[in-house]
Structure 1
């Protein structure tokens, strides 16, 4: 980590300024801080195509194809085993046992093979006494199982919701496994699969790297559209490290090629984990081209982490928008109807202002053109057009240089005495608009001082109360901010908001990051 040789002067200054600072040790169960899935995870899972017919050979062959097909180069890295991988009972020591017929060399050997391909291996269990297929699961054995998986080199856990739960809530059962995984010391991505139950949107971001929002997907158009319809209400829960999961991809798995492109476009716009569910070994060239479309994947992997959402619905024609971190707009024009239709939107509706010309990049034809204020396409039945729209003289999100006036305090974010030494802690102070209160919002999501330093979350911290300082700009996620429509400033690397500690209003009061709560001490006006 950077600044190792440096003392914790910044943190000590913040501690001196207020007694309400909270550190990570004070909050052992408040947040998932495993550093994983800062963008949605990409990979493959055997269940949609193979069900219980998983085996060592299948997983090895799939890892081979993931590399040879170009999927690994496009960003896919997890090769995930689903249900039915174990014997029907634990051994005498109480441990889960890989089925010797399916995995004759055990899981550790398989993990070594997958890792040798530059990929990662995932495993499956359930937060009940049995899995969905009736195999032993992990309720009451969380630490034993987590330790075993870590010893095998497992990198990903899909954790289902089947079996007798002994009356415990979803939050209790999933938090128990979250903490067990953390205690292993091995980074294991935690994918919650409780089908959107138990109000998971309220506790999922603090518990898993992703959480299912619905029941299981199937390889047909009706299923894909039904799951899509359930997604808008979940959008506010997603952030880097914690993603809504509308279930795995059915690209090339019962859908037409047109429907597969639509499905992939929308799941990418939704910031969904892109987990392929088809047989990679026999996929068509078209299916491979869909899954490896790096321009569409780039929308999913945009560091800003804003989930796309529906902005217009005209029956069979819909418009879905994802604001990109560089100020452009990713848009999907969707035609759910039975015949070709023209689907349109406007640059103004996409948040790009009003101008006479915009640049439009077609992410499926890989062509770039110009458009007036109306963006439209002729879209086939069950099809989608996907574009990146930019230009029009639109500044970066919230762009320009301005002061940041706290709504609760009516004082401005200030670099004390204009001291631009790296490590200086900003405060709030009477607004006077001198250079030490001027902040420039860049297309990279930075907030730069007049002297060119960046507003920085101390040492890449993510816990409530972590200090905010100024530091040399370096492009890291802890220097990326998003000014939301409600006036909050979201630290994208941490998923928390810039907060005047303790609702203070006096000159010299400290700022830090804190869970976003809508309070006036987290709202800022640009003037």
Structure 2
């Protein structure tokens, strides 16, 4: 019944996707706990085992994650879902691991998982009870967080079931965020409030990820329904804070063709990749899907925006994502019941005009060239996935000055100095060498004829971090993406190049800040 209720909620969210897309860009800070700088990869027991979780299942799954090659492919977390505790707290008010399911206690399980080089996750809810009726954490946030830290827990999935005692979602989820922080243990915080309470506006400051739909089901219609909700959420995602369209159903009721499409799309969305199948008995094909490191690489790459739908022709769609090196990942999706040809082009993907492009097929693991057309015959409920690069003219390429739309002044390296650490600011546009930037295929903004790179100081990610110049070193804090709306995003943080305080005076310094669409975050190439 709970899953049916959540499926209805998911359908309602799909219907609300267009209004949500019209909301202003979020201004909340990203949660700065140092975790999930790329989307988390792991496994959760719920989709395959439900309440039948146990010490034995968790240990065997940890073994399988290593032996299957999933750990080597980047999967880290073994997550325990609902029903792990007894029905009542102990005399001291503490949660108790079910002694039948976990006879050695939860710390012993954590120690075993850690011994495999992996991390352990636990589950609770921001109400008085969990979805299955077990004791949850509302009003006991610090007590429970301290207990989990003492067990060695590394990840918390925090659901939205139970009596909320009249408290808002933001209040309830923030209380647990603060409790986790006070433990001193790094615990990845995954919010699971099903997209309610405009979580996109406060989720980035509260958790490392947030569910934006109801529960996924092990069928194609459920996967597609959840996919349809995602365009409205695309602007909220950033390093350390990810949209979560729910766990993977790869190898768990979907066909192999559907599983490849599902995995391709979730990777393009920068979604947490949390497997939900039984790793101990999965087929060779399922294992090959979950361990496709080229597809995982797209998921783990941050080019300044998560992937999004760019073409919707009914049963055929094109989804694309800018990569940090200026290439574009693309999924050609066929939602229909028969084979169909799905096509796009380098121009449609935002790549520059050229005679030849490289096309890497991420499932066939082959590379070809094209004059600009990218097309595939895609089976029913299937997808093709590529990375398209080359042409020498990535988005925003060339040499130019960057004129602030809010100030009318140009991005300027203070005093014309070429010393490492010299700050960037704004100044009257004069086309001098300290105002001329060259965008490279690596995403750099080089100045002084390429001698130096625009650089986010110290590779920090906090709002207000200064922007300066430094010797070019290829690191992500020297990578920037010029977006079609005029913003310039710092790849390593997902934040925007911003004129301090929106001021317009000569010499005002430039920094990074959460993207919010104001004029002092928009630039025109001149």
TM-score (norm 2): 0.92
Per the TM alignment, residue 442 of structure 1 is displaced from its structure 2 partner at its CA by: 2.6
Q: Which moved more, 1:298-307 or 1:373-382?
A: 298-307
Summarize the Cα distance change of 1:493–1:356 in structure 2 as closer, same or farther, 3 Å threshold.
closer
8 Å CA contact 1:325–1:443 kept in 2: the answer is: no
Per the TM alignment, residue 188 of structure 1 is displaced from its structure 2 partner at its CA by: 1.0
Q: Which moved more, 1:406-415 or 1:207-216?
A: 406-415
8 Å CA contact 1:271–1:308 kept in 2: the answer is: yes
Q: Deviations over 1:393-429 (max 9, x none)?
A: 323x312222221112221121222222222212211
Aligned residue runs from structure 1 range 113-512, under 5 A: 113-395=112-394, 397-450=395-448, 452-512=451-511
Summarize the Cα distance change of 1:80–1:194 in structure 2 as closer, same or farther, 3 Å threshold.
same
Secondary structure of the 1:281 match is: coil
Q: Deviations over 1:119-163 (max 9, x none)?
A: 111111100011101111111111111111112111111000000
Secondary structure of the 1:486 match is: coil
2:340 & 2:452 partners in 1: Cα distance? 50
8 Å CA contact 1:251–1:278 kept in 2: the answer is: yes
- Show the counterpart of 1:24: none
Secondary structure of the 1:124 match is: strand
1:62 & 1:32 partners in 2: Cα distance? 30
Per the TM alignment, residue 447 of structure 1 is displaced from its structure 2 partner at its CA by: 2.3
8 Å CA contact 1:316–1:337 kept in 2: the answer is: yes
Secondary structure of the 1:181 match is: helix
1:463 & 1:338 partners in 2: Cα distance? 47
Secondary structure of the 1:260 match is: helix
Summarize the Cα distance change of 1:113–1:246 in structure 2 as closer, same or farther, 3 Å threshold.
same
Summarize the Cα distance change of 1:482–1:393 in structure 2 as closer, same or farther, 3 Å threshold.
closer
Secondary structure of the 1:37 match is: coil
Per the TM alignment, residue 280 of structure 1 is displaced from its structure 2 partner at its CA by: 0.2
Secondary structure of the 1:131 match is: coil
8 Å CA contact 1:271–1:300 kept in 2: the answer is: yes
Per the TM alignment, residue 388 of structure 1 is displaced from its structure 2 partner at its CA by: 1.1
Secondary structure of the 1:401 match is: strand
Summarize the Cα distance change of 1:215–1:519 in structure 2 as closer, same or farther, 3 Å threshold.
same
Summarize the Cα distance change of 1:96–1:472 in structure 2 as closer, same or farther, 3 Å threshold.
farther
8 Å CA contact 1:108–1:153 kept in 2: the answer is: yes
Per the TM alignment, residue 349 of structure 1 is displaced from its structure 2 partner at its CA by: 0.9
Structure 1: gaps (5+ residues): 1-28
Per the TM alignment, residue 31 of structure 1 is displaced from its structure 2 partner at its CA by: 4.1
1:183 & 1:85 partners in 2: Cα distance? 24
- Show the counterpart of 1:47: 46
8 Å CA contact 2:304–2:490 kept in 1: the answer is: no
2:425 & 2:222 partners in 1: Cα distance? 51
2:232 & 2:336 partners in 1: Cα distance? 23
8 Å CA contact 2:127–2:160 kept in 1: the answer is: yes
Secondary structure of the 2:264 match is: helix
Summarize the Cα distance change of 1:452–1:90 in structure 2 as closer, same or farther, 3 Å threshold.
farther
- Show the counterpart of 1:4: none
8 Å CA contact 2:400–2:525 kept in 1: the answer is: yes
8 Å CA contact 1:39–1:305 kept in 2: the answer is: no
1:402 & 1:123 partners in 2: Cα distance? 51
2:474 & 2:152 partners in 1: Cα distance? 31
- Show the counterpart of 2:18: none
1:261 & 1:332 partners in 2: Cα distance? 11
The two structures, once aligned, show a CA RMSD in angstroms of: 1.6
Secondary structure of the 2:235 match is: helix
Aligned residue runs from structure 1 range 14-25, under 5 A: none
Summarize the Cα distance change of 1:223–1:130 in structure 2 as closer, same or farther, 3 Å threshold.
same
Per the TM alignment, residue 77 of structure 1 is displaced from its structure 2 partner at its CA by: 0.6
1:136 & 1:476 partners in 2: Cα distance? 46
- Is 1:109 aligned to residue 85 of structure 2? no
2:474 & 2:88 partners in 1: Cα distance? 50
TM-score (norm 1): 0.91
1:149 & 1:475 partners in 2: Cα distance? 39
